[in-house]
Amino acid sequence: MTTNVRVREMRWWDIGPVLELERALFPDDAWSKGLFWSELAHARGPGATRRYVVAEGGDGRVVGYAGLAAIDGTGDVQTIAVAQEHWSTGLGSRLLRELLTAATDFECREVLLEVRVDNTRAQRLYERFGFEGVGVRRGYYQPGNVDALVMRLSDPLSAVQGMTHGSQG
């Protein structure tokens, strides 16, 4: 289970360990160090439009991370990643809850995301939270030219309220 895992705000010193996990999980289309720095720059202070978190194992190692951007009432899940040894422990659900809570804090009326069409594990997670497929972006993931399924959650506040009553994930 995830009981010995702590979720906290991502900070600049987490970028190195996050990049290691990013490259291990997404070797063909991993984010760059510069992209993480840019996202974190928008995650602090007044007017922040991003929320990034990391999950630390009991040994202090980063075992997951997630990020959300909020623009004009729409949340966009930028990334969610969980180390393979923590798959099927509930950590992905926990990170997604963090992002949906942030979306409600940002007063988002909807939340969107893209997920690889071949990543059925992630798609099932998102569906459990009420996300529905709304389209496909052809060749979205490069350099592999893999399509992305666009998914939408139309009422993040209801999803978060449902989660607090134990009905989700």
Model confidence over 146-158: pLDDT tens digits?
999 999 999 898 8
Task: State the catalytic residue, choosing from 52, 65, 126, 141.
Answer: 126
Q: Is residue 145 assigned to a domain?
A: yes
Residue 126 annotated in active site: yes
Q: Is residue 38 assigned to a domain?
A: yes
Domain coverage including residue 40: 6-164
User: The domain that contains 100 carries what CATH number?
Assistant: 3.40.630.30
- The model's pTM is 0.90
Task: State the catalytic residue, choosing from 22, 39, 114, 140.
Answer: 114
Q: Is residue 94 assigned to a domain?
A: yes
Distance of alpha carbon 3 from alpha carbon 139, whole angstroms? 38
Residue 65 annotated in active site: no
On whether the CB atoms of residues 95 and 65 are closer than 8 A, the answer is yes
Q: Is residue 169 assigned to a domain?
A: no
Distance of alpha carbon 64 from alpha carbon 56, whole angstroms? 7
Q: How many domains does the chain have?
A: 1
Q: Is the pLDDT of residue 168 over 70?
A: no
Q: Is the pLDDT of residue 161 over 80?
A: no
- A 10 A CB-CB count for 106 gives 20
At 18-36, the pLDDT tens digits run 999 999 999 888 999 999 9
Q: Is residue 14 assigned to a domain?
A: yes
